[in-house]
């Protein structure tokens, strides 16, 4: 975790009510709480984030410049009283304006707990004895990953728990995941900061082969024979924009081409986009008011003791925003880059900064549209371009890249890039794993899945939106289909929350349309954006499993709810150690109307990972996500006004002027 203390006021502030908290504001929040409530050292700051003003307040600020109250939402944990506390601090008034004890919940794991778990585990005599049984006496080589505890029927009730797993390094930079300590499961009480249970389910020999990926360690004779040296035949690719980027940035406000939006951040969600709109004929038309990742859930399919416990909510149990990487020019991002720092909090409530946490740049995206008139041999072609706003989070062994793309044709795309190192298991040499794939002698990667839910507070040309499910439907033979070729796009409105819990169906090309019935184009069609699913799966965990009990959001691909600012997370506010399905299943019990309402669309999508040998020792990136595309939002192709590109080609060839498109006779 590359974070550093911030001692100065952040210069990046436009004074907008949706700007993230500055370091000064975060520091002031802690001061107010300590003074007002006389907080002792046992009270720890779990999260400090902006309390976002209401939509009406933000709208009034935009219309009249009226000031909004500046406030912080804070989650505290009183370790002595074992209480979770939600509080609101008004920075405008300099006072605590709300204080509520939330019973029966555990907030997410704090960074100080995460790092303390390793030392607590390493010092435990029972854990040490288990390591000696495996021939390990230098305990400094142990690498201990704190996994969220989930729940187990044998766990002590009412205690704040974490369940670390152990791996062994051969040196500081060695890939410890090459040598998992199979069968050793530890339970740590984070209030008492002590190990409360050690279960050793039997010794499995540590795999012998290294799994290093750093060049200075890869070629020491202990890696695969196919890898003998770093490639030497790659020539540089330079991304240049001699006149600078096409975007402008004012604080957190971004303008690019005809797109307008604001960049935001929270310690739990990480990257947030606010007020995404498109300028059309001189008017900025809203599309999405707020877009964010609302939850991640990763269940494993191996029933072995070391792996059945792997059922983690990476956002709700850890906080994706706390785990963002400082990005590096030329490595994570190419070209003309604008970076945004992220400001989080430590457990004393003091600001921490993650420099260059969010990257923004432009990318050429190939041909945007093209046509050749073969009669006149005249050709028109336009390049597509996209604005990329991204970040990367390291969650233990895995890396997740979160990428928002805005395109010149009005399309919005969200993509998750999955890479990093698989969470491994050990097996006796010569055996084959049933619930995973062998990646090295005695080493396997268990089957698992990754589920993501994105919360889209939609605002398609205004607050009043309706949702339709659209399927391709073949007509039965008869007068309407005399030749057997006819099919239609069949629309069904989802009018209530009880109806708007849907599954993707690729066999009928199912999409979901978010339409504004009060805004129509010149053809009389409602302004619409459609959600286009990408590859998707469902959880395979059955009723009675932790996934079924705790992650109900993943069992439906689409949920739609009436807007409620308190409903932010698909698995609820506190999934850590939860034993029930919070979040969306609770939200929709109200069965509110969705007809011409202020609505929120929640989309769940999954990545199904049957591990390959090619995923070891570090995984090539895989992708998952979705698109939002305009349907009748514009009167025609919004990228029609893209300028012609300058004709050019590679060195050594003749430039093409675009006037002759057909074959040339010789």
> Catalytic residues, which ones?
314, 398
> In sequence order, which residues have a C-beta less than 8 Å from that of residue 649 and are 6 or more positions away?
655, 656
Reference 529, options 627, 636, 638, 645; nearest CA is 627
Report the alpha-carbon distance of residue 481 to residue 350 in Å, rounded.
69
Please count the CA atoms within 13 angstroms of the CA of 178 that sit on its side-chain side: 22
DSSP 590: G
Query: What Å distances lie between residue 118 and 45, 82, 186, 195, 260, CA to CA?
Result: 21, 22, 11, 11, 45
CA-angle at 122, arms to 429 and 77, nearest 5°: 120
**How many residues in the chain?**
666
Report the alpha-carbon distance of residue 187 to residue 161 in Å, rounded.
7
* Whether the Cβ atoms of residue 312 and residue 577 lie closer than 8 Å to each other: no
Structure tokens at 502: 């849907």
- Phi/psi for 75 (5° steps) reads -110, 125
Report the alpha-carbon distance of residue 625 to residue 603 in Å, rounded.
10
Report the alpha-carbon distance of residue 261 to residue 275 in Å, rounded.
5
Q: Which residues of 266-300 are buried (b: 16+ CB within 10 A; e: fewer)?
A: bbbbbbbbbbbbbebeeeebbbbbbbbbbbbbbbb
Strand, coil or helix: 86: strand
Query: What Å distances lie between residue 59 and 13, 50, 380, 462, CA to CA?
Result: 19, 17, 42, 12
- Strand (E) or helix (H) holding 32: helix 23-37
Report the alpha-carbon distance of residue 325 to residue 2 in Å, rounded.
7
């Amino acid at each position: 975790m590359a974070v550093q203390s911030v001692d100065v006021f952040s210069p990046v502030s436009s004074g907008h009510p949706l700007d993230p908290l500055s370091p000064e504001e975060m520091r002031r929040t802690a001061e107010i709480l300590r003074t007002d409530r006389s907080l002792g050292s046992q009270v720890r700051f779990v999260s400090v984030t902006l309390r976002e003003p209401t939509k009406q307040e933000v709208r009034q600020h935009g219309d009249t410049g009226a000031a909004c109250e500046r406030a912080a939402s804070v989650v505290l944990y009183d370790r002595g009283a074992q209480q979770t506390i939600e509080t609101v601090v008004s920075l405008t008034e300099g006072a605590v304006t709300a204080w509520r004890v939330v019973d029966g919940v555990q907030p997410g794991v704090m960074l100080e707990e995460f790092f303390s778990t390793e030392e607590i585990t390493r010092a435990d005599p029972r854990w040490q004895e288990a390591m000696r049984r495996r021939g390990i006496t230098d305990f400094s080589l142990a690498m201990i990953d704190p996994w969220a505890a989930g729940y187990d029927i044998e766990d002590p009730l009412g205690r704040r728990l974490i369940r670390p797993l152990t791996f062994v390094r051969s040196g500081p930079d060695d890939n410890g995941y090459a040598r998992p300590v199979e069968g050793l499961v530890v339970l740590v009480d984070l209030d008492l900061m002590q190990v409360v249970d050690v279960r050793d389910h039997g010794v499995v020999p540590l795999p012998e082969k290294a799994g290093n990926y750093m060049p200075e360690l890869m070629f020491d004779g202990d890696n695969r024979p196919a890898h003998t040296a770093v490639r030497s035949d790659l020539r540089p690719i330079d991304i240049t924009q001699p006149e600078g980027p096409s975007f402008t940035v004012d604080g957190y406000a971004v303008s690019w081409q005809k797109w307008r939006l604001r960049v935001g951040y929270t310690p739990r969600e990480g990257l947030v986009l606010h007020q995404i709109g498109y300028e059309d004929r001189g008017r900025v038309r809203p599309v999405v008011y707020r877009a964010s990742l609302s939850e991640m859930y990763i269940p494993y399919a191996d029933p072995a003791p070391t792996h059945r416990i792997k059922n983690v909510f990476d956002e709700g149990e850890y906080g994706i925003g706390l785990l963002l990487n400082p990005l590096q020019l030329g490595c994570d991002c190419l070209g003309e880059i604008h970076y945004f720092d992220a400001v989080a909090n430590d457990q004393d409530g003091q600001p921490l900064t993650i420099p260059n946490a969010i990257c923004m740049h432009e990318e050429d995206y190939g041909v945007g549209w093209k046509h050749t008139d073969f009669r006149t041999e005249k050709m028109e072609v336009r390049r597509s371009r996209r604005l990329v706003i991204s970040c990367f989070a390291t969650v233990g062994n895995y890396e997740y890249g979160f990428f928002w793309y805005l395109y010149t044709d009005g399309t919005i795309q969200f993509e998750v890039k999955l890479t990093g190192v698989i969470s491994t298991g050990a097996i006796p040499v010569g055996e084959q794993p049933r619930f995973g794939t062998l990646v090295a002698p005695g080493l396997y990667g268990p089957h698992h899945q990754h589920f993501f839910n994105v919360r889209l507070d939609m605002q398609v040309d205004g607050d009043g939106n309706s949702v339709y499910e659209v399927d391709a439907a073949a007509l039965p033979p008869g007068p309407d289909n005399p030749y057997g070729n006819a099919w239609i796009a069949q629309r069904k409105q989802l009018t209530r929350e009880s109806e708007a819990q849907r599954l993707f169906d690729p066999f009928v090309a199912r999409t979901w349309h978010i339409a504004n019935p009060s805004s129509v184009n010149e053809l009389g069609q409602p302004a619409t954006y459609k959600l286009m699913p990408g590859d998707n799966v469902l959880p395979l965990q059955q009723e009675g499993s932790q996934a079924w009990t705790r992650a109900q959001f993943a069992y439906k691909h689409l949920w739609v709810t009436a807007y409620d600012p308190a409903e932010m997370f698909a698995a609820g506010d506190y999934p850590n150690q939860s034993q029930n399905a919070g979040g969306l299943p609770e939200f929709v019990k109200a069965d509110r109307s969705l007809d011409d309402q202020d609505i929120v669309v929640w989309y769940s999508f999954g990545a199904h990972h049957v591990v390959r040998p090619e995923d070891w020792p570090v995984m090539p990136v895989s992708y998952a996500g979705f698109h939002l595309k305009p349907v009748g939002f514009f009167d025609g192709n919004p990228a029609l006004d893209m300028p012609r590109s300058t004709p050019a080609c590679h060195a050594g060839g003749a430039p093409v002027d675009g006037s002759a498109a057909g074959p040339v006779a010789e």
